Amino acid sequence: MGELKEWLKNRKESPRTIRELANIFHNIPYKTVAGWVHKDSIPKDKEIRRKLYELTNINKYKVSESIERSKKFEKEIPIENYTNLLIKDIEYDLNQILLKLSLLRNENKEIQIEDYKSKEIMINIKKIIYECFKTLTPLINNENLRKKFREEINKNDIAMLSSLLEALLDEKKFKIWLIFKNIELKEKK
């Protein structure tokens, strides 16, 4: 059974039916909403997905905010402000990667991670790494953004993340990395 169908089925208050759900989306035909429920399809429109996610909290409807913000601001604001927002996105992605890697390291200390949990963690880490890569992509062809990046991002943070990622690929390097793990990340002011 699809997640949306299950969600409707388990509700005690409106919306509990396809008709009630369709009424929330005023301009969407009933048959389209029925397709979301019965065929487990995902709306292409990001605003509809965002609204579905806010209503249901079903992850497949979640819209990546950092990419959407980057695309939106890239068109609407001056390059200096866009650069600052891009740097904040990069810092956020960097912190998310470090947090996920830290969680992975801590979970492995005490117990063997169950197989499904391990796969879930790996999927989340891959998503964060790809999000970070997508966020950094505008820097590839823009010298001004690269210059601003170099001014704003602390080189030690990048080195710490880079060394951790490399260490995770080799157990001997990881044990050496553990010795230096107490170095804290510092935000450039």
More confident residue, 95 or 162: 162
pLDDT bracket for residue 14 (50, 70, 90): confident
Give the residue extent of every domain in the chain: 3-61, 65-179
Q: Is 73 exposed, middle or buried (0-12, 13-18, 19+ CB in 10 A)?
A: middle
How do residues 115-135 score in pLDDT, each as one tens digit?
Answer: 556 777 888 888 888 888 888
For residue 1, how many other CB atoms are within 10 A of its CB? Answer: 10
Q: Over the chain, what is the mean pLDDT?
A: 78
Residue 39 CB partners (closer than 8 Å, separation 6+): 2
Residue 5 CB partners (closer than 8 Å, separation 6+): 37, 38, 40
How do residues 95-115 score in pLDDT, each as one tens digit?
Answer: 778 777 776 665 555 444 455
Cα 35 from Cα 141, distance rounded (Å): 41
Half-sphere exposure of 16 (CA within 13 A, CB side): 6
Cα 52 from Cα 24, distance rounded (Å): 10
Cα 52 from Cα 25, distance rounded (Å): 9
Best CA proximity match to 15, nearest among 50, 23, 2, 42 = 23
Cα–Cα distance list, 119 to 21, 63, 115, 122, 177 (Å): 33, 22, 6, 5, 24
Cα 50 from Cα 64, distance rounded (Å): 9
